Amino acid sequence: MANVFDTAKYLLEKAGKMSTMKLQKLCYYSQAWSLVWDDAPLFEEDFQAWANGPVCPELFSKTKGRYSVTANDENGGDNNLTDNQKDTIDKVYEHYGKHDAQWLSQLTHMEDPWKNARQGVPSGVGSNNIISKESMALYYGGL
């Protein structure tokens, strides 16, 4: 099965350089829409409801301390994506890729999966609450 690093590398190969925050949000939306369109997760790693939106801790650890990254920085992906998974990521990138990281972060703040995972957590405060794949599938599947 593919992992979050396969998705990140594929996105970076398409886009070139991007901020680590934008990469996080594009991986999040790739996972969300894979759950809806393909009825399966793209990768097993989870996202947490951090103050600036969904963050995959494994990907964060790898890019920590960097503002932006390129495909050359991502050596964890082994190109385990199927053609169908690449098609899902392509569609996500076509729709969300034109927006900057801040816009994408604000969008996630208006959506139920992040909001529900943050219940009881004050604004701006850190949280490692998991955004469940089930909540993502339900919410995005209803759009």
CA angle 13, 18, 23 (to 5 degrees): 85
Reported as a single tens digit per residue, the pLDDT across 92-110 is 999 999 999 999 999 999 9
Q: Which of 100, 77, 96 is nearest to 7 (CA)?
A: 77
pLDDT at 1: 84
In angstroms, the CA 60 to CA 110 distance is 22
In angstroms, the CA 87 to CA 65 distance is 31
In angstroms, the CA 73 to CA 95 distance is 24
Reported as a single tens digit per residue, the pLDDT across 1-46 is 899 999 999 999 999 999 999 999 999 999 999 999 999 999 999 9
Calculate mean pLDDT across residues 40-57. Answer: 97
Query: Count of CB atoms within 10 A of residue 94's CB?
Result: 10
pLDDT at 75: 72
The domain segmentation of the chain, as residue ranges, is 4-141
Calculate mean pLDDT across residues 110-119. Answer: 98
Whether pTM > 0.85 for this model: the answer is yes
